[in-house]
């Protein structure tokens, strides 16, 4: 697997694949993936609630809580499932904004290993000089 996929800067990221055999099935498979990720994230992290939005042009927000956006980015069949501190106006305009970022970082650090266990099927081993990623499937 040699592609690279976008995800927000500073995100905790887990990698998986979206295996679609026929181009016509891609939209259905992507919709199924989004629904599946929302269900799994809701079970693993009950404070997340559904949210539909974007971080930039390639990173789709599926859920959020007071501290973080949870989302997905896809390039070809490679999928980055990510969670990252919120970066929207409502988040930073809150009265308690100075205390929010440390709380968000603490929460994210507490959930990092569980997030990886729930969503990660591949490990990113690194990137080549041309930016292409090198990924390895985890042992079952």
pLDDT digits (tens, 9 = 90+) for 19-46: 877 777 888 899 999 999 999 999 999 9
Compute the distance between CA of residue 70 and CA of residue 140 in angstroms, rounded to an integer.
25
User: pLDDT confidence of 96, banded at 50, 70, 90?
Assistant: low
The residue to which tokens 């729930």 are assigned:
118
Average pLDDT of the residues in 99-116: 91
| CB of 11 closer than 8 Å to CB of 85 | no
- 125 contacts: CB under 8 Å, gap ≥ 6: 133, 134, 135, 136
Taking the C-alpha atoms of residue 60 and residue 53, their distance in angstroms, rounded to an integer, is: 6
Residue 107 has pLDDT above 80, yes or no: yes
Looking at the DSSP bridge assignments, the partners of residue 126 are: 134
CA distances from 74 to 5, 8, 26, 66, 136 (A): 6, 12, 11, 25, 17
Please give the biggest Cα pair distance in the chain. 50
Pairwise pLDDT comparison (18 vs 49), residue with the higher score: 49
Higher pLDDT, 78 or 97: 78
* Whether 3 contacts 78, CB under 8 Å: yes
Instruction: Give the pLDDT confidence score for residue 3 in this predicted structure.
Output: 59
Confidence of residue 94 (pLDDT cuts 50, 70, 90): low
What's the chain's average pLDDT?
88
Spell out the alpha helix ranges (H) of the chain.
Answer: 26-44, 89-93, 97-119
């Amino acid at each position: 697997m040699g592609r690279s996929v976008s995800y927000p800067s500073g995100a905790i990221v887990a990698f998986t694949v979206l295996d679609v055999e026929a181009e016509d099935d891609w939209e259905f498979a992507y919709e199924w993936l989004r629904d599946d990720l929302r269900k799994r994230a809701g079970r693993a992290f009950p404070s997340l609630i559904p949210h539909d939005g974007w971080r930039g042009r390639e990173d789709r927000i599926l859920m959020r809580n007071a501290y973080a956006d949870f989302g997905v980015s896809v390039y070809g069949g490679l999928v980055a499932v990510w969670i990252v501190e919120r970066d929207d106006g409502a988040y930073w305009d809150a009265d308690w904004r100075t205390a929010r970022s440390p709380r968000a970082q603490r929460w994210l650090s507490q959930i990092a290993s569980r997030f990886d266990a729930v969503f990660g099927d591949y490990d990113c081993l690194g990137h080549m000089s041309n930016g292409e990623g090198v990924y390895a499937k985890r042992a079952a």
